[in-house]
């Protein structure tokens, strides 16, 4: 049969060296320390206008069953047609984690009956996923440049359909089905069981989410269900044989995931130490009780009867397509951080500015306006973050955009206003939304270089403080600051500090 061979290409970029070591996480049981082994299957909704196999909208929060085509409802005779944009996003994501991209992949049917699954099967990729092995480097604290790093292996990324949603609270005896999500494209990103603590799992998920947002293949919004994790956990004596794992399904926040791992690992240790055995099963996390509970055991597990979907041809990716995917990739977090450090930013600033895509994109916009990198990063980290923090707003909600900020920083850079005046101007900008230059103009905040005016104020101050002038001249250098302050105050903060310095030195001798 034509093209059955698996024809894949190795990603051309660097292959990172094998992983480093992070802090050791151990559960102390009665019989000693236990090691935790964690693997994550992350379902990420692919950013696309329409569903994986139909033209329906993927918009969130619409009226139930308003985004449902004949294909999504699995009406008789309906056929799936792959949405190339969804495949493109999966390939770009694969490239971003240095993964093998499979030029030949195929869709399979995963058969099971459920009311939220109209076809009676989910179209997924079991045998030949579109993306193969890759890896992600994580640091326990991405904002700490000295934090240890570790490489987490990615086994595969495959593309599949989401199911609909059952609603049990609409009617006393009936359940309703909302098919808006039915057929929405998901990437399932499967990690190797390389994760050994809740913190590592959290760091991995954060890093993955950041990469997805940089790439633009998923908005990473866990509250809206755009990203959720199935968490595989087992425990073992350090270095021992792998234990039986459980899978906790559909965990929808990083915090919950870490709690679920902690609970589940402890539960397994307690179980084993009390003479029990871990059962391979699917569990659910209850965030209210902070515990996992059994959903179905292996005996009840479905036989999904996977087989190649005969409605679909194999997916074959050509050079031009792959080249376009690669060319469209943005600079990724690790590369960006290195570049920022080379530009003279502190390691801390570079780490913070690149950890989240939103921050990095905001900062890039600021640089694009011609702002100096160091000045811009310092201002962003202290002034803007401080102000947003006080207002309880995120960067996306900032009342000041990069262009407006650039104007303000430009006024400082060219000496029009001083740094301290800039703080005042910024506060007014936050309140009124006015442009920096308009505020400076209106309030008369321009810095003055009028040496005559400054000299005259200095003369007055020296006359009023003859004792301090004498003390200074007899060697008490520290008083210089006093004179600077007095002069600046007299000039209402608008004098150029350098000129004040020069004139004072001359006058005090």
Return residues touching another protein (CB under 8 A): 1, 70, 73-82, 109, 111, 113-115, 118-121, 177, 303, 305-307, 310-313
Report, in Å, the least distance between residue 306 CB and another protein: 8
Token pair belonging to 73? 């409802």
Q: Would you say 137 and 194 are in contact if contact means Cβ atoms under 8 Å apart?
A: no
Report, in Å, the least distance between residue 130 CB and another protein: 16
Q: Which residue blocks in 392-496 are alpha helix, DSSP H?
A: 402-413, 419-432, 436-443, 451-464, 466-473, 479-490
Would you call 87 exposed, middle or buried from its count of C-beta atoms within 10 A (0-12, 13-18, 19+)?
buried
Select 296 or 305, whichever has its Cβ closest to another protein: 305
Report, in Å, the least distance between residue 368 CB and another protein: 41
Report, in Å, the least distance between residue 108 CB and another protein: 10
Report, in Å, the least distance between residue 114 CB and another protein: 8
Select 305 or 476, whichever has its Cβ closest to another protein: 305
**Per this entry, what is the length of the chain?**
509
d(CA 100, CA 102): 6
Select 80 or 376, whichever has its Cβ closest to another protein: 80
Report, in Å, the least distance between residue 68 CB and another protein: 10
Select 13 or 168, whichever has its Cβ closest to another protein: 168
Token pair belonging to 369? 């306006």
Q: How far is CA 393 from CA 244, 292, 385, 396, 400, in A?
A: 44, 33, 9, 8, 12
Q: How far is CA 368 from CA 301, 332, 352, in A?
A: 54, 18, 19
Select 166 or 470, whichever has its Cβ closest to another protein: 166
Would you call 325 exposed, middle or buried from its count of C-beta atoms within 10 A (0-12, 13-18, 19+)?
buried
The torsion region of residue 409 among left (phi > 0), alpha (psi -120 to 50) and beta comes to: alpha
Select 33 or 166, whichever has its Cβ closest to another protein: 166
Residue 408: closest CA among 360, 353, 445: 445
Report, in Å, the least distance between residue 303 CB and another protein: 5
Select 103 or 109, whichever has its Cβ closest to another protein: 109
Select 104 or 306, whichever has its Cβ closest to another protein: 306
d(CA 342, CA 332): 16
Report, in Å, the least distance between residue 79 CB and another protein: 5
Report, in Å, the least distance between residue 265 CB and another protein: 30
Q: How far is CA 421 from CA 182, 275, 372, 405, 417, in A?
A: 55, 70, 19, 14, 6
Select 305 or 443, whichever has its Cβ closest to another protein: 305
d(CA 393, CA 372): 25
Select 73 or 409, whichever has its Cβ closest to another protein: 73
Q: What percentage of the chain's residues is helix, strand, coil (to nearest 5)?
A: 40, 20, 40
Q: 289: which DSSP letter?
A: T
Select 307 or 343, whichever has its Cβ closest to another protein: 307
Token pair belonging to 86? 């969804």
Report, in Å, the least distance between residue 73 CB and another protein: 6
The residue behind tokens 């902070």 is: 290
In sequence order, the 6+-apart residues with CB closer than 8 A to the CB of 321 are 88, 91
H or E element, residue 175 = none
Select 70 or 290, whichever has its Cβ closest to another protein: 70
Report, in Å, the least distance between residue 433 CB and another protein: 49
Report, in Å, the least distance between residue 121 CB and another protein: 5
Q: Would you say 211 and 50 are in contact if contact means Cβ atoms under 8 Å apart?
A: no
d(CA 343, CA 331): 15
In sequence order, the 6+-apart residues with CB closer than 8 A to the CB of 108 are 123, 124, 125, 126, 127, 306, 307, 308, 309
Select 301 or 342, whichever has its Cβ closest to another protein: 301
Report, in Å, the least distance between residue 81 CB and another protein: 5
How many CA atoms lie less than 13 Å away from 499 in the CB half-sphere?
Answer: 20
């Amino acid at each position: 049969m034509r093209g059955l061979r698996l024809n894949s290409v190795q990603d051309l970029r660097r292959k990172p060296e094998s992983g480093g070591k992070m802090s050791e996480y151990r559960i102390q049981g009665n019989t000693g320390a236990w090691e935790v082994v964690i693997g994550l299957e992350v379902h990420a909704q692919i950013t696309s206008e329409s569903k994986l196999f139909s033209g329906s909208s993927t918009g969130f929060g619409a009226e139930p069953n308003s985004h449902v085509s004949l294909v999504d409802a699995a009406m008789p005779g309906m056929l799936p047609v792959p949405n190339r944009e969804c495949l493109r996003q999966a390939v770009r994501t694969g490239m971003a984690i240095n993964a093998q991209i499979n030029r030949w992949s195929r869709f399979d049917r995963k058969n099971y009956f459920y009311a939220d699954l109209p076809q009676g099967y989910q179209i997924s990729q079991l045998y030949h996923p579109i993306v193969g092995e890759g890896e992600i480097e994580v640091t326990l604290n991405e904002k700490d440049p000295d934090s240890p790093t570790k490489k987490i292996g990615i086994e595969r990324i495959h593309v599949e359909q989401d199911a609909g949603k059952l609603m049990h609270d609409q009617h006393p005896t009936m359940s309703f089905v909302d098919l808006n999500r039915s057929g929405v494209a998901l990437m399932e990103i499967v990690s190797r069981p390389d994760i050994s603590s809740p913190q590592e799992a959290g760091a991995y998920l954060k890093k993955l989410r950041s990469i997805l947002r940089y790439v633009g293949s998923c908005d990473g919004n866990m509250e809206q269900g755009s990203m959720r994790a199935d968490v595989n956990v087992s425990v073992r004596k350090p270095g021992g044989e792998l234990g039986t794992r459980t899978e906790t399904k559909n965990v929808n926040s990083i915090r919950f995931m870490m709690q679920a791992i902690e609970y589940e690992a402890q539960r397994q240790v307690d179980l084993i130490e009390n003479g029990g055995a871990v059962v391979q099963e699917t569990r659910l996390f209850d965030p209210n009780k902070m515990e996992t509970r059994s959903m179905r055991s292996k005996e009840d597990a479905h036989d999904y009867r996977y087989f190649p979907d005969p409605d679909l041809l194999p997916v074959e990716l050509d050079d031009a397509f792959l080249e376009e995917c690669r060319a469209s990739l943005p600079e990724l977090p690790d590369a960006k951080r290195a570049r920022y450090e080379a530009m003279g930013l502190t390691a801390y600033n570079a780490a913070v500015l690149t950890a989240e895509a939103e921050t990095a994109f905001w900062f890039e916009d600021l640089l694009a306006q011609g702002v100096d990198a160091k000045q811009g990063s310092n201002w962003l980290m202290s002034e803007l973050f401080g102000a947003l923090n006080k207002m309880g707003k995120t960067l996306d909600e900032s009342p000041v955009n990069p262009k407006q900020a650039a104007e303000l920083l430009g006024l400082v850079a060219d000496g029009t206003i001083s740094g301290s005046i800039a703080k005042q101007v910024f506060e007014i900008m936050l309140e009124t939304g006015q442009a920096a230059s308009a505020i400076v103009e209106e309030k008369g905040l321009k810095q003055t270089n009028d040496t005559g005016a400054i000299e005259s104020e200095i003369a007055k101050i020296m006359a009023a403080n003859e004792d301090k002038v004498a003390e200074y001249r007899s060697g008490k250098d520290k008083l210089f600051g006093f004179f600077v302050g007095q002069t600046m105050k007299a000039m209402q903060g608008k004098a150029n500090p350098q000129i004040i310095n020069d004139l004072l030195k001359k006058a005090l001798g």
